[in-house]
A and B are shown apart, each in its own frame.
Chain A
Amino acid sequence: MTANPVALTVFLVLFFATAGLGFYATKMRSVNLNDLGQWGLGGRSFGTLIAWFLLGGDIYTAYTFVAVPALVAGAGAVGFFAVPFTILMYPVLFVVMPRLWSVAHKRGYVTAADFVRGRFGSRGLALAVAATGIIATIPYIALQLMGMQIVFAGIGLNFTLNLPVIGAFHDLPLLVAFLVLAIYTYHSGLHGTAMISVVKGILVYVAVLAAVIVIPIELGGYGKIFAAANPATLLLGHGTANNLGPQFSFASLSLGSALALWLYPHSITGVFSSSSRAVLKRNAFLLPSFTFALALIALLGVMAVAVGVKGMPEYAEGYRIFGNNFAIPALFLHSFSPWFAGLAFAAIGVGALVPAAIMSISCGNLFTRNIYKEFIAPDCAPATESKVAKIMSLATKLAALVFVVALQSSYAINLQLLGGIWICQTLPSVMLALYTPRRLNATGLLSGWLIGMAAGTWMAFALQFKGAVYSLDLFGFTIPCYAAIIALLLNIVIAYAVSFIVRAMTNVTVKDETLAEDYV
């Protein structure tokens, strides 16, 4: 991976100028970053347009730009599940999230766990929701770090340091990615990130639209591109008499991911930073424009196969280290002129930086509000609160760094699917709690959560953390299903059943501080 001076210069200027804009934006607005509501929630001030950029920048991540096309390039049609996933999450945004926004706005909740604490009067359940949020986000941040690492390495910043004692150190691109993210998040907070997500949106659209026009012209049209694809994986396989087959696992991955998405702390931070319910409702039909870009990027995975970048000697090293995750960077380097390749790489780099920043900010919020203030220092000053959040956001990034090094996954997408299994287990406490008035209580929800987490983790373990589709055998009939869905179904059944039993046996009422009118 030798550096092209033009591509490298364009990349460095764009990437660091954008990150710099984040600092500058924060300074210009003279925002008090020692206030958690400002650093961690942008003062709940973002209108339709900024929320469109911020949520778009928050939700469409290295998952979109690196992991999805890598899966399409390597495994074919199954990688396209991200398209139904990112379409189906919008009816959920439209119907469910405005209720959560309203109650958070009225009661001053900063995190999902704040809501659970208020709704069920249970510190234990709030702790479970907060801890799950942090644990599920770490692999997701890891995916972003990996995205930045691939970009830095691909553009040519892959020199090896020979350190005394330790020896040759190869992970320099990863270290640079980590440092940029850490310094950026600490100083900038959500206001600055909203600003650079505008730049991200523009860079991504320019790069993607150019790619889907230029590359098919070079290759002689889409017909030729698909003719070069592996016929065995061009479509999903069909099921058999006793196996529902890949079509079912495809649907389960789409649905499970769509349900999981709005439960992630970074999604909730994005939702809470909006200035009104209407902003969310409008974005439920404005944000799918990013899904259209995602579908085009997924098609780039097919193009990478048609171009045959995998077999080219100049990309052999990238493929050796990163596997199919190198498909899109290699495609850009091969198909674009150097300056435009630099721009496209900056789009991916900023594309990973924005969500990683929001993810670690929201983990900081969760730790501070629901663990530190709740259990360690209830009377801490606002400035201390903000300081703790910043330090904790750094800690989650460090954990993500360890995750990348320890679990080099040939398909980065598995990192995200693993987080999805965990975060889905908070659905009853966060989403169902918005609807079922008195049928759920903390004991029931905690029981369901515990079983769901245990079952989900066990399935992931049985799959050796290399996949997320678990084959459920029921009386000789095989159902290949996203483990998140299986664990969630168990969780819901147990949550309602135990809640029912508790209600029948005791007459303890739920200490619900929220009122019906808080939700509308």
Chain B
Amino acid sequence: MNGKRRGFHPIYLLLVLPFVALLWVPIYNRVEPALFGIPFFYWYQTVWTFLGTACTIPVYLYEEKKRK
């Protein structure tokens, strides 16, 4: 089980991004800017369901390319 460090590439930092964006609650615990009347707190988190995916796809593509 050695050599796990060998596979590290900065692109994996993308997977850390959602943790920062969602666990640092003060950045989104606010009403403004509202979107279609939905307070920021609610739509920010909802939009992150897509941004989370957007962070994972590049990492997946990188791993696929490396495998070939």
Contacts and interface: CB of A to CB of B under 8 A. Distances in A.
How would you classify the secondary structure of chain B's contact residues: helix, strand, loop or mixed?
A: helix
A236 interface: yes
Given A77-B29, A238-B29, 11 more contacts: A77-B41, A83-B46, A91-B19, A224-B37, A227-B37, A235-B29, A250-B25, A284-B56, A285-B53, A285-B56, A514-B1
Given A225-B37, A234-B39, A285-B56, A91 B18 contact: yes
Nearest to B3: A516
A282 B39 contact: no
A225 B39 CA distance: 11
Interface of A: 77, 80, 83-84, 86-88, 90-91, 94-95, 221-227, 234-236, 238, 247-248, 250-251, 254-255, 281-282, 284-286, 288-289, 291-292, 295-296, 299, 302, 435, 437, 514, 516, 519
Of A94, A250, A286, A516, chain B has the most CB atoms within 10 Å of the CB of A94
Among A255, A282, A295, A516, the one with the most B-chain Cβ atoms within 10 Å of its Cβ is A295
Contacts of A95: 12, 15
Contacts of B42: 80, 226, 299, 302
A460 to B, nearest CB: 23
B49 A291 contact: yes
Contacts of A255: 19, 23
Contacts of B19: 88, 91, 255
Interface residues of B, number: 37
B22 A254 contact: yes
B42 to A, nearest CB: 7
Nearest to A94: B56
B11 interface: no
Contacts of A227: 37
Given A223-B37, A226-B37, A226-B39, A88 B22 contact: yes
B53 A84 contact: no
B29 A247 contact: yes
Interface string B1-33: 111100000001001101100111110011100
A118 B26 CA distance: 44
A109 B4 CA distance: 23
Contacts of B48: 83-84, 87
A222 B38 contact: yes
A94 B52 contact: no
Contacts of B52: 87-88, 90-91, 285, 288, 291
B29 A91 contact: no
Contact of B41 (A80, A90, A437, A514): A80
B56 A247 contact: no
B4 to A, nearest CB: 7
A224 B36 CA distance: 10
A235 B39 contact: yes
B45 A285 contact: no
Contacts of A224: 37
A431 to B, nearest CB: 14
A247 B22 CA distance: 11
Interface string B44-67: 011011101101110110010000
A254 B23 contact: yes
Contacts of B59: 94
Contacts of A226: 34, 37-39, 42
B49 A87 contact: yes
Contact of A221 (B36, B50, B63): B36
B32 to A, nearest CB: 11
B41 A235 contact: yes
17 contacts: A91-B55, A94-B59, A221-B36, A225-B37, A247-B29, A248-B25, A251-B23, A281-B60, A285-B53, A285-B57, A286-B53, A289-B49, A291-B49, A291-B52, A292-B50, A437-B1, A516-B1
Contact of A88 (B18, B38, B63): B18
A133 to B, nearest CB: 24
B8 to A, nearest CB: 11
A137 B39 CA distance: 35
A87 B37 contact: no
A288 B49 contact: yes
A285 B60 contact: yes
Contacts of A282: 60
Contact of A247 (B26, B36, B60): B26
Q: Nearest 10 pairs between A and B by C-beta?
A: A223-B37, A84-B22, A222-B37, A247-B25, A285-B56, A91-B15, A295-B46, A292-B49, A83-B45, A437-B1
A91 B49 CA distance: 12
B49 A295 contact: yes
Nearest to A518: B1
